[in-house]
């Protein structure tokens, strides 16, 4: 029965479209819409009639997505085909309701496309079209690295991945917050069974182009930013130089660029960074344009002194405080986009007490107490344990001496010309 009714509907719609091609009594006006994956989506169409038409009743409504084998909704003979996957947007819809909008209950990627709404009334027919754009938000990206530990100056590769989005978006890379580095990456797109997409972007890291921060940002198909992830290379702890100072004193850090020591043409400057709870600039060493000079930041103003040239120089920081503790990095710049970390220092500044001693004095006291306790334990061992060991050893020797018989003693005395008492003839 359903097949017969569908065939009849197709025949009737075709007949009316051909027979009433000039009919202007009925118009179907539709609005474009965007559907969110997994949510309800509305396909909105309204039947509008001219003043000449009166007592309009809808006889047939059919919704079909272009390219689909079957219609998504069919209304005829006063009822909705039970095989319809869509429903009318108004629950109490009847054939006198000119709002023929429909709802998609659970929007899928497969629902994306252009739809045609055909309407037959007792005063003529009309057709409207609407485009549904299905979208799905991409997941929070995850950055992985090969090798697992990447340090500044080493080769490697970063991979940024996100999934569950639609339509095709984009992954872009930024270094040090605002420099676009996407041109060095390669993105791959894979589709899942549900139609959603998986994006993967690989960024090779070459020696000499390692930055202190990498940001992976996911953009949707319209260019809107959806999510981001940050990767920070591990510091080269094994190559750090540890420096210990007391507050109020000064420290001298050496910054050197060993490549091409006789030329400054490829360098435009150098940053000295201080990393503690947050990263801050200590100063910037200008090389180009103009003469060489340093520009210290406010906290270090009048506390820093530079000696030497850009390729090899020293920076002295005076009047140290505990807040100056942290990691210091000499970062050379060959151009606006590249950075090269050359020297790394770990500075530990201890607080000086009013009597001139350092805050680390309790450590010396602990070591001294430990030494005294060790000496006392050794003396107790000598006084108590050693005599007991000697006494125990002597007893073992006495027990091991062999016992001689009386006959053996008598024989020895006779040989030596001695007579035992009571042995006269």
Question: What is the Cα–Cα distance from 218 to 226, expressed in whole angstroms?
Answer: 6
Residue 115 token pair: 């739809």
Local confidence pLDDT in tens for the 425 residues of the chain = 444 454 444 434 444 443 443 455 788 999 988 999 999 999 999 998 876 767 888 899 999 999 998 899 999 888 888 888 899 998 888 888 889 999 999 999 999 999 999 999 888 889 999 999 999 999 999 999 988 877 666 678 999 999 999 999 999 999 886 889 999 999 999 999 999 999 999 999 876 565 778 999 999 999 999 999 999 887 554 456 788 888 899 999 998 886 544 444 577 888 999 988 788 899 988 876 667 788 899 889 889 999 888 888 899 999 999 999 988 988 888 777 677 788 888 899 988 765 555 554 444 444 554 555 566 656 655 655 556 655 655 555 545 545 544 544 444 444 445 444 444 44
List of residues 6+ apart from 237 with CB closer than 8 A: none
Cβ–Cβ < 8 Å for 378, 290:
no
Domain boundary among 84, 106, 135: 135
- For residue 281, count CB atoms less than 10 angstroms from its CB and return exposed for 0-12, middle for 13-18, buried for 19 or more: middle
**Do 222 and 167 share a structural domain?**
yes
Question: What is the Cα–Cα distance from 369 to 382, expressed in whole angstroms?
Answer: 20
**Do 155 and 226 share a structural domain?**
yes
Residue 93 token pair: 């819809």
Task: Return the CATH number at 167.
Answer: 2.60.40.10
**Do 52 and 93 share a structural domain?**
yes
Domain range spanning residue 121?
Answer: 26-135
Number of domains in the chain: 3
**Do 148 and 50 share a structural domain?**
no
């Amino acid at each position: 029965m359903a097949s017969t009714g569908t065939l009849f509907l197709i025949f009737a719609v075709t007949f009316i479209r051909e027979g009433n091609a000039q009919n202007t009594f009925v118009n179907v006006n539709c609005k474009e819409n965007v559907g969110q994956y997994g949510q309800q989506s509305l396909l909105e169409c309204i039947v509008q009639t001219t003043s000449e038409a009166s007592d309009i009743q809808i006889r047939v409504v059919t919704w079909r997505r272009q390219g689909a084998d079957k219609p998504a909704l069919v209304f005829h003979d006063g009822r909705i085909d039970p095989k319809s996957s869509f429903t009318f947007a108004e629950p109490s819809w009847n054939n006198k309701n000119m709002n023929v909008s429909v709802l998609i209950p659970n929007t899928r990627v497969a629902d994306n496309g252009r739809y045609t709404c055909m309407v037959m009334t007792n005063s003529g027919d009309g057709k409207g079209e609407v485009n549904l754009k299905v979208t799905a938000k991409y997941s929070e990206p995850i950055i992985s690295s090969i090798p697992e530990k990447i340090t500044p100056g080493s080769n490697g590769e970063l991979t940024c991945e996100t999934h569950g989005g639609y339509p095709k978006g984009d992954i872009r890379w930024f270094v040090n917050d605002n420099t676009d580095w996407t041109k060095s990456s390669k993105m791959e797109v894979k589709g899942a069974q549900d139609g959603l997409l998986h994006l993967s972007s690989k960024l090779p890291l070459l020696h000499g182009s390692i930055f202190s921060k990498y940001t992976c940002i996911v953009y949707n198909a319209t260019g809107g930013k959806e999510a981001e992830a940050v990767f920070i290379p591990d510091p080269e702890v094994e190559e750090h130089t540890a420096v210990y100072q007391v507050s109020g004193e000064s420290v001298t850090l050496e910054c050197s660029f060993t490549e091409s020591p006789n030329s400054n043409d490829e360098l435009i400057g150098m940053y000295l960074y201080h990393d503690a709870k947050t990263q801050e600039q200590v100063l910037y060493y200008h090389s180009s344009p103009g003469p060489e000079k340093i520009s210290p930041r406010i906290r270090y103003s009048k506390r820093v002194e530079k000696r030497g040239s850009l390729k090899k120089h020293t920076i002295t920081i005076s009047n140290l405080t505990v807040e100056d503790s942290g990691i210091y990095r000499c970062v050379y710049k060959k151009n606006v986009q590249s950075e090269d970390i050359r020297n790394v220092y770990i500075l530990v500044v201890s607080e000086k007490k009013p009597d001139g001693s350092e805050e680390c004095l309790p450590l010396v006291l602990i070591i001294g107490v430990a030494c005294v306790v060790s000496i006392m334990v050794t003396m107790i061992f000598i006084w108590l344990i050693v005599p007991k060991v000697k006494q125990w050893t002597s007893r073992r020797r006495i027990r091991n001496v062999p016992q001689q018989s009386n006959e053996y003693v008598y024989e020895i005395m006779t040989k030596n010309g001695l007579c035992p008492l009571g042995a006269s003839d």
